[in-house]
């Protein structure tokens, strides 16, 4: 099956800093989603981005499908950005999502 790797595993930032999270995957995908899991465990949809670039406020994401990676950019980080960020992919022959191990982000004031 498809393997998904996220880096870095942990990230500690001061409020206002920018960061880049990376997701590598091992095969072609037709679904790629970025999620933020808040401290209460809720998975919040950030982007549905199997290819291309999208922006939503301070967050943006880029997926280069031909090179099998996606990047999530967080600018001007806030303490409320803390939590775990997951990348999840779906292949062409399956509808399930395969999740990476996540990046744990802590933003301090």
Instruction: Check binding of 100 to another protein (CB under 8 A).
Output: yes
Find the distance separating the first CA and the last CA of the chain, reported in whole Å. Answer: 41
Instruction: Check binding of 97 to another protein (CB under 8 A).
Output: yes
Q: Within 18-77, which residues bind another protein (CB under 8 A)?
A: 30-31, 33, 35, 40-43, 45, 48
Nearer to another protein by C-beta: 41 or 57? 41
The per-residue DSSP string of 29-66 comes to: -SEEEEEEE-TT--EEEEEE-SSEEEEETTEEEEEEGG
Helix (H, G, I), strand (E, B) or coil at 79: helix
Nearer to another protein by C-beta: 77 or 91? 91
Residue choice 88, 89, 91, 106 for contact with another protein (CB under 8 A) = 88
Cis peptide before 8 (omega within 30 of 0): yes
Number of residues that bind another protein (CB under 8 A): 22
Q: Residue 67: CB partners within 8 Å, gap ≥ 6?
A: none
The binding site for another protein (CB under 8 A) comprises 30-31, 33, 35, 40-43, 45, 48, 86, 88, 90, 94-102
């Amino acid at each position: 099956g498809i393997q998904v790797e996220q880096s870095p595993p942990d990230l500690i930032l001061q409020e206002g800093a920018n960061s880049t999270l990376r997701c590598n995957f091992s095969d072609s995908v037709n679904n790629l989603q970025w999620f933020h899991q808040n401290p209460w465990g809720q998975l919040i949809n950030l982007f549905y981005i199997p290819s291309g670039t999208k922006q939503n406020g301070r967050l943006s994401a880029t997926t280069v499908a031909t090179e099998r990676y996606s990047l999530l950019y967080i600018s001007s980080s806030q303490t409320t950005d803390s939590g775990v960020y997951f990348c999840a992919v779906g292949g062409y022959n399956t509808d399930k999502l395969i999740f990476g191990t996540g990046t744990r982000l802590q933003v301090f004031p």
